[in-house]
């Protein structure tokens, strides 16, 4: 799973479980699947999540400051869920619902 599809498609696929996810949870999963360790990989995956949210495919539900350093100490953590539009776009891209 994972590596055979573009990262943004995989991100949408992870959200198709119908649950809310914090960005750091998705980022760490993608880093593992695509072997994208390090700060550059972390930040580029997070940027992909931000682009999906900006495009209306993910909805930003909650934010909190990362005081523990889970993702990046002092930065905002975001909790997202997939939107109906994201589900349609995922379906258009042949992403299966989990």
Spans of all domains in the chain? 7-93
Helix residue ranges per DSSP H, 1-98:
7-15, 23-34, 39-54, 84-92
The per-residue pLDDT for range 59-92, each reduced to its tens digit, is: 999 999 999 999 999 999 999 999 999 999 887 7
More confident residue, 58 or 3: 58
For residue 67, the SS3 value is coil
**pLDDT class for 97, splitting at 50, 70, 90?**
low
Could you give the CA distance from residue 52 to residue 13 in angstroms, rounded to a whole number?
12
For 71, list phi and psi in degrees, rounded to 5.
Answer: -110, -60
What average pLDDT does the structure give for the chain? 91
Tell me the mean pLDDT in the region 11-15. 95
Which CATH number is 7-93 given? 1.10.10.10
Which of 66, 70, 2 has the alpha carbon at shortest distance from 31? 2
């Amino acid at each position: 799973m994972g590596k055979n599809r573009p990262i943004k498609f995989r991100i949408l696929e992870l959200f198709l479980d119908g649950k809310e996810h914090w960005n750091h949870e998705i980022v760490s999963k993608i880093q593992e699947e695509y072997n994208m360790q390090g700060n550059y990989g972390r930040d580029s995956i997070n940027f992909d999540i931000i682009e999906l949210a900006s495009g209306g495919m993910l909805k930003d539900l909650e934010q909190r400051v990362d005081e523990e350093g889970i993702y990046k100490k002092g930065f905002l953590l975001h909790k997202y869920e997939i939107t109906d539009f994201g589900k349609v776009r995922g379906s258009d891209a042949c992403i299966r619902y989990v």
